[in-house]
Homo-oligomer: A and B are copies of this chain.
Amino acid sequence: MERNYPIKRIIDDTGFFVDTTFENQIDEKLVKDLYYNMIRIRTFDRKAINLQRQGRLGTYAPFEGQEASQVGSALVLKSGDWLFPTYRDHGATLTFGADMTRAYLYWNGRTEGCVPPKGKNIFPPAVPIATQLPHATGAAWAEKRRGTQNVAIAYFGDGATSEGDFHEGLNFASVFKVPVIFFNQNNGYAISVPIEKQMNSATIAQKSVAYDMPGIRIDGNDCFAVYFETKKAFDFARSGNGPTLIEAVTWRKGAHTTADDPSKYRPEKQGNDSVDPLLRLELFMKNYGYWDEEWIQRIKEETIIEIDTAVEEMERFPAPIVDDIFDNVFAVMPAQLAEQKESYLAHLGRQ
């Protein structure tokens, strides 16, 4: 089956073209967009780990190594589109326009972290694995019913393919031919479980056959392959042709979360050979004359300032108020809940 689903690549590990189909669509704007966003989210991600170590953030799920997959795909989205992320997809949501302060807040156990900026259709991160796939199908179905050209994208991991919801989400999408992209980041592991123990299939892309849905397998560390193949799938969906399953083969460089110790289960050298997606883009930029040292310095500095500001805002964010746990359960609070709230607030007052 691997033969039926060869990994699509546009540039190789040394940053040279291996496929020039899209060469004329690669311009400075695109290259810089990709680079800028990848640098930005990597800096965000490393900062998060640091904050967690310092006790300024809770358990965090890092995505280093997956930047090309997340940025390359999220740059394709247009304003009316929908994004259904997991806990590891802040790279994608930030690229699409999520608020950075709120992304940090999420990892401090704050519901504010789930509220997207106005007009941005970004769903709260899915924590129960694979549950977001049917949601994306439903949201896409709604767009189809309204006759728009908007598309929904659901992010999910290799482990998520084992859940029933993966299957049911894809089946509904194919039956109702709705504009949804199932974007799988195959990062080799589901916590400690390697993909060979997760599934018997050689690829995830081939699971599309079960739904007679297009399935493609791409090098998830090649930002151009990710961008152009995702764009093709979006265009296909916008034109009313229905869903696509994309398998982006990538690598989780770090731990599953800051609470995890990969040395327990992952051979030390495994993954060392997978070239860093950012480095690969840098090589490409140098190879093809896109390297602009001054611009790079500038965006790096800007990014650091942006992130420091976001962290500051996160830490200065108004403390959570107790009312919150009662106020968003129903549109109108039932009498018994109102009583619980009242009596608890009174109790706090007495203390």
- Residues of A in contact with B (beta carbons under 8 Å apart): 1, 162-168, 171, 174-175, 177, 197-202, 206-207, 209-213
Q: For A201, give the chain B residue with the smallest CB separation.
A: B212
Q: Select A198's contact among B175, B209, B213, beta carbons within 8 Å.
A: B175
Which residues from chain B contact A199 at a C-beta distance below 8 Å?
171, 174-175, 211
Alpha-carbon distance between A217 and B117 when the two chains are bound, in angstroms: 51
Alpha-carbon distance between A206 and B175 when the two chains are bound, in angstroms: 16
Known: A162-B171, A164-B168, A171-B199. 5 other contacts (CB 8 A): A163-B168, A175-B197, A200-B211, A206-B210, A210-B210
Q: For A4, give the chain B residue with the smallest CB separation.
A: B209
Which residues from chain B contact A202 at a C-beta distance below 8 Å?
212
Name 10 A/B residue pairs within 8 A (Cβ), A-sorted: A162-B168, A162-B171, A171-B199, A171-B200, A175-B200, A200-B213, A202-B212, A207-B210, A209-B209, A209-B210
- CB pair B162–A174 under 8 Å, yes or no, is no
- CB pair B210–A201 under 8 Å, yes or no, is yes
Alpha-carbon distance between A332 and B60 when the two chains are bound, in angstroms: 47
Secondary structure type dominating chain A contacts: helix
Q: For A166, give the chain B residue with the smallest CB separation.
A: B167
A134 to chain B, nearest CB (A): 10
Q: For A176, give the chain B residue with the smallest CB separation.
A: B200
Alpha-carbon distance between A88 and B202 when the two chains are bound, in angstroms: 35
Alpha-carbon distance between A177 and B201 when the two chains are bound, in angstroms: 12
A166 to chain B, nearest CB (A): 7
Alpha-carbon distance between A213 and B162 when the two chains are bound, in angstroms: 15
Which residues from chain B contact A206 at a C-beta distance below 8 Å?
209-210, 212
Which residues from chain B contact A168 at a C-beta distance below 8 Å?
162-164
Alpha-carbon distance between A147 and B22 when the two chains are bound, in angstroms: 55
Which residues from chain B contact A197 at a C-beta distance below 8 Å?
175
Alpha-carbon distance between A210 and B247 when the two chains are bound, in angstroms: 13
Q: For A200, give the chain B residue with the smallest CB separation.
A: B174
Max count, chain B CB within 10 A of own CB: residue among A163, A171, A199, A213: A171
Alpha-carbon distance between A2 and B30 when the two chains are bound, in angstroms: 41
Alpha-carbon distance between A164 and B130 when the two chains are bound, in angstroms: 11
Which residues from chain B contact A201 at a C-beta distance below 8 Å?
174, 209-212
Q: For A175, give the chain B residue with the smallest CB separation.
A: B200
Alpha-carbon distance between A163 and B177 when the two chains are bound, in angstroms: 18
Which residues from chain B contact A171 at a C-beta distance below 8 Å?
162, 199-200
Q: For A177, give the chain B residue with the smallest CB separation.
A: B200
Q: For A172, give the chain B residue with the smallest CB separation.
A: B162
Which residues from chain B contact A167 at a C-beta distance below 8 Å?
164, 166-167
Which residues from chain B contact A175 at a C-beta distance below 8 Å?
197-200
Q: Select A164's contact among B163, B207, B212, beta carbons within 8 Å.
A: B163
Which residues from chain B contact A213 at a C-beta distance below 8 Å?
200
A195 to chain B, nearest CB (A): 11
Alpha-carbon distance between A211 and B161 when the two chains are bound, in angstroms: 11
Alpha-carbon distance between A175 and B168 when the two chains are bound, in angstroms: 20
A163 to chain B, nearest CB (A): 7
Alpha-carbon distance between A201 and B214 when the two chains are bound, in angstroms: 11
